[in-house]
A = this chain, B = another copy of it.
Amino acid sequence: MIQQTEKQKPAAGEGGITSRAQDYGQWYLDVIRRAQLAEHSAVRGCMVIRPHGYAIWEKLQRELDDRFKETGHQNAYFPMFIPLSLLAKEETHAAGFAKECAIVTHYRLKSKDGVVAPDPESKLDEPLIIRPTSETIIWEQFKGWIQSYRDLPLLINQWCNIVRWEMRTRLFLRTAEFLWQEGHTAHATEAEAIAETEKMLGVYTDVAENILAVPVLRGRKTAGERFAGALDTYCIEGMMQDGKALQMGTSHYLGQNFAKSAGVQFLSAEGRLEYVYASSWGVSTRLIGALIMAHSDDTGLILPPRLAPIQIAIVPIYKSDEEKVKVLVEARAVFAELKAQGLAVKLDDREGFTPGAKYYEWEGKGVPLRVEVGPKDLEKGSLCLVRRFVKDIPGEADQARRKRAKSFLPRAEAMASIKTILDEMQKELLERARAFRDSRSRVIDTIADFERFFKEEGGGFAWVHWAGDAAQEEEMAKRFETSIRCIPLPDDIPAAARGAGQCILTGKPSAQRVVMAKSY
């Protein structure tokens, strides 16, 4: 069983990484540290995203942004300050975020007797809230953009920073400030707004599965877990290697709530004045946390090739100056050829680092493929390819696995097959994650089985019938630390979990199973 909460002194495994089996939480932090993805800052709860972490975010942004644009969305930018009165307009929404707002109250500093402090005379008449999400400020603006049905649909996305004052933070997963995108759309009809909500859930699913290689379960949130101000919240839930669920993205159908609170009406084709229907949807830097926890191993980060800022690291190996000259000529040629293939390749020709130190760095940073170029390879006309990971063979020793990850190929064959190898690796990651999720998913019909699953078998996704009320959900959370992750969409329900039944706790009738799990 995974001892998430165990707070032992981390054992110095490879790269000082605590093993997953020993302490999953510490392992996560160790992987991030070794890969130099992020770190804590001088500001409580705020993280610094280091260059390697940010490069992953940039690749992810590009994948998402291209899909947003292909589906007709345009980017824009709105102020990060929301006047308090504006946030308060939509009451449910304001209540949902009231407890985690950063509030600006002054606009000037003053030095008095050597102490610098906010100047009392610069106090704002109205406090400004730093956006915890932008529905209110954006809908205030939409009022001026929407007059008639010809202005609809309005399909807007924003890339920005967000602040939610979290008390317990965790790099990438939960920080006071984080980066995200938020889509905000306006439609003439309910059907169109719901279709948009579902379409964007589809885009997120595509990126999660085909880029991040994390299989996700699509579903709806229960009323208690809905976005503050939404009529319906859809989500995608991934499973991490400790069996916990991670919410990876949400898409909300907002009905006419924000249109009404901001007063956004349009003249329909039939000449009637009507309120607009809305959706909003977002994913954040949290996805990098998902990526790390879904794939990485006890050696460090593992990146899916399609998201790796560096897909291939070329390491030249030489001893004499003579060897160096020859090897570097070849390494540069390999670099140029792979670059010409459109691959993200890095030639690590740094002086003063041993090949071993270079292997160590790229391994810890999750680079999928390493190409070693040495004098022997030159002689033989071959290249040595080393995969960051290979399919698991249960019980295999580390040394044997490492040997299996290494292959010597004739140069031409190597160059011709690298793209295919990367594609295979991408596919393997998704399959591996899917197999893991399946192995940790159970159709469960009794509380006794439920208890055994979470308390003895490590837990995972429990497919259960549920008809309890909020208090009973709370009871389950207290007893098992689980929550209803989602009410899965029909297509995502495995055959064995389909159909009606009786609530696992109350025995009341239930139309379909939900998924319960521990979560981040």
Chain A residues proximal to chain B, CB less than 8 Å:
39, 41-43, 46-51, 53-55, 57-58, 74-84, 86, 88, 94-95, 98-111, 116-118, 127-130, 137, 140-141, 144, 150, 156, 160-161, 165, 176-177, 179, 352
Within the assembled complex, what's the spacing in Å between the Cα atoms of A176 and B79? 9
Question: Beyond A98-B109, A106-B103, is A48–B80 a contact (Cβ under 8 Å)?
Answer: no
Most buried by B among A57, A104, A110, A161: A104
CB contact under 8 A between A118 and B127, given known A42-B140, A58-B75, A76-B51 = yes
B118 and A98 contacting across the interface, CB-CB below 8 Å: no
The reply to whether A101 and B105 contact each other, CB–CB distance below 8 Å, is no
In the bound assembly, the distance between CA atoms of A83 and B43 in angstroms comes to: 7
* Contact (Cβ within 8 A) A80 B141: no
Q: Which residue of the partner chain, among B48, B102, B116, contacts A77 with CB atoms under 8 Å? A: B48
Please, which residues of chain B bring their CB within 8 A of the CB of A160?
161
Chain B residues near A83: list those with CB within 8 A.
42-43
Residues of chain B with a CB closer than 8 A to A76's CB: 48-51, 53-54
In the complex, chain B residues whose CB is within 8 Å of the CB of A100: 107-108
Which of A88, A94, A106, A160 neighbours the largest number of chain B CB atoms within 10 Å of its CB?
A106
Q: B80 to A177, Cβ gap below 8 A?
A: yes
Is there an interface contact between A79 and B144, defined as CB atoms closer than 8 Å? no
B161 contacts A80, CB within 8 Å? yes
Contacts of A137 in B (CB 8 A): 41-43
Asked whether, in the complex, the Cβ of B49 is within 8 Å of the Cβ of A77, the reply is yes
Q: Given A41-B141, A48-B79, A107-B103, answer yes or no on A98-B74 (Cβ-Cβ < 8 Å).
A: no
Among residues of B, the one whose C-beta sits closest to the C-beta of A179 is: B77
Cβ 8 A contact of A41, one of B78, B102, B105, B352:
B78
The answer for the CA separation of A111 and B75 in the assembled complex, in Å, is: 34
The residues of B that contact A74 with a CB separation of less than 8 Å are: 51, 54-55
Which of B86, B111, B150 lies in contact with A42, CB distance below 8 A?
A: B86
By beta carbon, the residue of chain B nearest A74 is B51
Given A51-B76, A74-B51, check contact A84 B109 (CB 8 Å): yes
State A79–B102 Cα separation when bound (angstroms).
Answer: 13
Residues of B within 8 A of A106 (CB): 101-103, 105, 127
Give chain A's interface secondary structure class: mixed
- Taking CB atoms, residues of chain B closer than 8 Å to A101 are 106-109
Measured between C-beta atoms, what is the minimum distance from A284 to chain B in Å? Answer: 12
Which 10 residue pairs of A and B lie closest in terms of their CB atoms, listed nearest first? A46-B79, A51-B74, A98-B109, A49-B77, A103-B106, A107-B165, A43-B79, A43-B81, A105-B105, A103-B118
Q: Please, how many angstroms separate the alpha-carbon atoms of A101 and B107 in the complex?
A: 5
Chain B residues within 8 Å of A75, by CB: 51, 54-55, 58
* A50 surroundings in chain B (CB, below 8 A): 76
CB distance from A151 to the nearest CB of B (A): 12
Partner of A107 from B39, B49, B102, B140 at Cβ < 8 Å: B102
Is B80's CB under 8 angstroms from A98's CB?
no
- Residue among A51, A100, A109 having the largest count of chain B Cβ atoms under 10 Å: A109
Let me know if B117 and A108 touch, CB within 8 A. Answer: no
Complex Cα gap A50–B156 (Å): 9
> What is the minimal beta-carbon distance from A329 to any residue of chain B, in angstroms?
23
Are A116 and B141 within 8 A (Cβ)? no
A110 CB contacts on chain B under 8 angstroms: 98
Chain B residues with CB under 8 A of A81: 43, 46, 102, 176-177
- A18 shortest CB reach to chain B, Å: 21
The residues of B that contact A94 with a CB separation of less than 8 Å are 109, 116
6 intermolecular pairs with C-beta atoms under 8 Å apart: A42-B141, A48-B78, A101-B107, A101-B109, A102-B104, A102-B106
The one of B109, B177, B179 in contact with A103, judged by C-beta atoms closer than 8 angstroms, is B109
Rounded to whole Å, the gap between the CB of A63 and the closest CB of chain B is 16
Q: How far is the CB of A186 from chain B (nearest CB, A)?
A: 13
How many angstroms between the C-alpha atoms of A103 and B117 in the bound complex? 10
Give Cα A165 to B122, complex, Å.
11
Task: Find out whether the CB atom of B127 lies under 8 angstroms from the CB atom of A79.
Answer: no
Closest to A73 in B: B51
Least CB separation from A36: chain B residue: B145
- The residue that A118 contacts in the complex, of B51, B58, B99, B105, with Cβ under 8 A, is B105
Q: Whole-angstrom distance from the CB of A34 to the nearest CB of chain B?
A: 15
New contact pairs (14) apart from A41-B141, A88-B116, CB-CB < 8 Å: A41-B137, A42-B79, A43-B81, A48-B76, A48-B79, A48-B141, A54-B77, A80-B161, A81-B177, A101-B108, A102-B107, A105-B106, A118-B127, A161-B161
The docked-state distance in angstroms from the alpha carbon of A443 to that of B441 is 80
Q: Are B99 and A108 in contact (CB under 8 A)?
A: yes
Q: State how many angstroms separate the Cβ of A38 from the closest Cβ of chain B.
A: 9
Q: Which residues of B contact A58 (CB under 8 A)?
A: 75
**A77 CB contacts on chain B under 8 angstroms:** 48-49, 54, 57, 179
Instruction: Provide the residues of chain B in CB contact with A107, threshold 8 Å.
Output: 100-103, 165
